[in-house]
């Protein structure tokens, strides 16, 4: 049996196995462990920072088998497979634990079926929470966003923000920094880790973290092209799946640690740190139901069923 080299791509800053963005570290841990357990039969080349395929296009590359693996925000593929927008539906997931329980619930089976039909396999289930950086006033309740130029970063988040009275503003991620600096944006919404690596604390005054509640949970699993997976021996497939599952705890703990680090980094920069409580979350969820969820139900044939399955996860 000849050794195979698999390519893993992701869009996040690259570092080492011990330091840097946890999403990069997770991929490196995966590679190291699989290489060890297959005695070097499987090797990996890791491409951080979108240095092989651009972020969104990683889906197509995995689906046609030209890219082996990616740690991929699943909702990015929503333009091609609209059901996948459920991976970044506002106020749908309520906690890390509940998100991880999707895996063994009916919603997990359905999601797995949908992506595998398109030629992609989920290897590690990872959820990440996000927060809000703002230059003006703190943003906790829906009424706080009225009239603000707000970058939601995705279609569903923009719908929610618009319904809450904000002006969703489309700014490419490479320009968020300049936009926050010059005031083109009043506030931006993204993952805790990206709020740190985009360095918005240099211009923000307030940050709302996900330490308590948040309406921003994104599904960003480690995924593998089914074509690549099928080429592995049964033994190797087993190792890949086991190592993948074993990393879920690391993913959750690191994501949660970054919610905490977000607070530390921003407060060190002199910003005021806020948290979102249950009552505020309930208000956001009410608006989400009437905007983003409603749109998802109406546009997608089995949208309502998917949402019900997700909500029913305890």
Partner 1 sequence: MSVTARFLWRAFSGALARLNLWMGYASGLLVVGSAIVLTGEVLARYFLGSPSDWALELCILMLIASTFLAAAYTLAARAHVNIDIIDAVLPAGLNRWRLLFADLGAAGLCGFVAVNAWRFAALAWSEGWVSNSTWGPKLWIPFGFIALGMTLLTLQYLVQIVDARLASLLTGGRHGRA
Partner 2 sequence: MGVLEIGLMYLGAALLLLFSGMPIAFALGGVALAFMFALMPANNLENITETLYSELNNFTLLTIPLFIFMGAAIGKTRAAADLYEAAHRWLYKMPGSLGVANIFGCSVFAAMCGSSPATCAAMGGMGIPEMRKRGYSEELAAGLIAAGGTLGILIPPSLTLIIYGIITEQSIGKLFIAGVVPGILLALVFALWVMFSAVREKAAAQAGRAGSELLRAEFFTWRQRLETLPRLLPFALLIALVMVALYDGWGTPSEVAGVGAAGALALVVVIYGVWRWRDLKEILLGTARESCMIMMIIAMAFLFTYVMSYLHITQSMAQWLVGLGMSKWAYLFWVNVLLLVLGCFLPPVAIILMVTPVIMPGILAAGFDPIWFGIVLTINMEMGLITPPVGLNLFVINGIAPDITFRQIVRGVMPFIVIMGLYIVLLALFPEIVMWLPDQSK
Residues binding partner 2 (CB under 8 A): 7, 13-16, 20, 45, 47-54, 56-57, 60-61, 64-66, 171-172, 174-175, 177-179, 181-184, 197-199, 202-203, 227
Of 184 and 227, nearer to partner 1 (C-beta) is: 184
Query: What is the SS3 assignment for 98?
Result: helix
Residue 40 engages partner 1 in binding (rule: CB under 8 A): no
Contact 262, 199 (CB under 8 A): no
Residue 147 engages partner 1 in binding (rule: CB under 8 A): yes
Q: Which of 101, 155, 231, 283 binds partner 1 (CB under 8 A)?
A: 155
Q: Pick one of partner 1, partner 2, none as the site partner of residue 45 (Cβ within 5 to 8 A by kind).
A: partner 2
Of 40 and 172, nearer to partner 2 (C-beta) is: 172
Q: What are phi and psi of 102, to 5 degrees?
A: -55, -35
Residue 150 CB, nearest approach to partner 1 (Å): 9
Residue 236 engages partner 1 in binding (rule: CB under 8 A): no
Of 179 and 263, nearer to partner 2 (C-beta) is: 179
Give me 89's structure tokens.
Answer: 């539906």
**Residues 51-70 interacting with partner 1 (rule: CB under 8 A):** 56
How far is it, in rounded angstroms, from Cα 25 to Cα 163? 37
| Region near partner 1 per CB under 8 A, out of 5-13, 91-99, 155-163, 262-270 | 155-163
Q: Which residue from 204, 98, 113 is spatially nearest to 150, judged by alpha carbons?
A: 204
Residue 167 CB, nearest approach to partner 1 (Å): 5
Q: Pick one of partner 2, partner 1, none as the site partner of residue 286 (Cβ within 5 to 8 A by kind).
A: none
Residue 104 CB, nearest approach to partner 1 (Å): 28
Question: Measured between alpha carbons, how far is residue 113 from residues 82, 97, 118, 124, 127 in Å?
Answer: 14, 22, 9, 15, 19
How far is it, in rounded angstroms, from Cα 287 to Cα 170? 21
Residue 218 CB, nearest approach to partner 2 (Å): 18
**Residues 184-203 interacting with partner 1 (rule: CB under 8 A):** 184
How far is CA 152 from its chain centroid? 13
Residue 175 CB, nearest approach to partner 1 (Å): 10
| Region near partner 1 per CB under 8 A, out of 13-21, 41-49, 104-112, 168-176 | 168-176
Angle at 96 between CA 157 and CA 122, to 5 degrees: 80
Contact 207, 276 (CB under 8 A): no
88-118 core/surface letters (b: 16 or more CB in 10 A; e: else): bbbbbbbbbebbbbbbebebbebbbebbeee
Question: Measured between alpha carbons, how far is residue 224 from residues 120, 237, 245 in Å?
Answer: 6, 11, 13
Q: Contact residues for partner 1 (CB under 8 A)? A: 56, 75-80, 85, 147, 149, 154-155, 158-159, 167-172, 184
């Amino acid at each position: 049996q000849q050794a195979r080299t698999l390519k893993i791509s992701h869009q996040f800053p690259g570092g080492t196995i011990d330091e840097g963005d946890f999403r990069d570290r997770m991929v490196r841990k995966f590679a190291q462990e699989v290489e060890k357990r297959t005695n070097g039969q499987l090797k990996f080349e890791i491409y951080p920072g979108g240095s092989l395929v651009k972020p969104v296009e990683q889906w197509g590359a995995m689906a046609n088998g030209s890219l082996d693996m990616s740690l991929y925000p699943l909702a990015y593929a929503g333009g091609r497979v609209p059901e996948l927008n459920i991976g970044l539906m506002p106020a749908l997931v309520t906690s890390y634990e509940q998100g991880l329980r999707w895996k063994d619930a009916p919603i997990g089976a359905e999601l797995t079926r949908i992506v595998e039909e398109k030629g992609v396999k989920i290897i590690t289930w990872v959820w990440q929470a996000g927060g809000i950086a703002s230059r003006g006033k703190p943003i906790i309740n829906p009424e706080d966003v009225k009239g603000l130029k707000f970058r939601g970063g995705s279609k569903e988040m923009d719908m929610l923000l618009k319904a809450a009275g904000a002006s969703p503003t489309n700014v490419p991620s490479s320009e968020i920094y300049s936009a926050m600096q010059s005031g083109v944006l009043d506030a931006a919404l993204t993952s805790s880790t990206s709020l740190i690596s985009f360095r918005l604390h240099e211009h923000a005054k307030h940050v709302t973290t996900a330490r308590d509640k948040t309406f921003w949970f994104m599904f960003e699993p480690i995924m593998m092209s089914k074509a690549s997976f099928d080429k592995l021996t049964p033994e190797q497939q087993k190792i890949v799946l086991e190592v993948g599952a074993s990393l879920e705890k690391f993913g959750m703990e690191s994501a949660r640690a970054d919610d905490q680090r977000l607070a530390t980094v921003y407060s060190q920069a002199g910003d005021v740190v806020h948290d979102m409580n249950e009552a505020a979350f309930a208000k956001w969820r009410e608006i989400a139901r009437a905007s983003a969820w409603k749109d998802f139900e109406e546009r997608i044939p089995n949208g309502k069923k998917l949402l019900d399955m997700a909500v029913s996860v305890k």
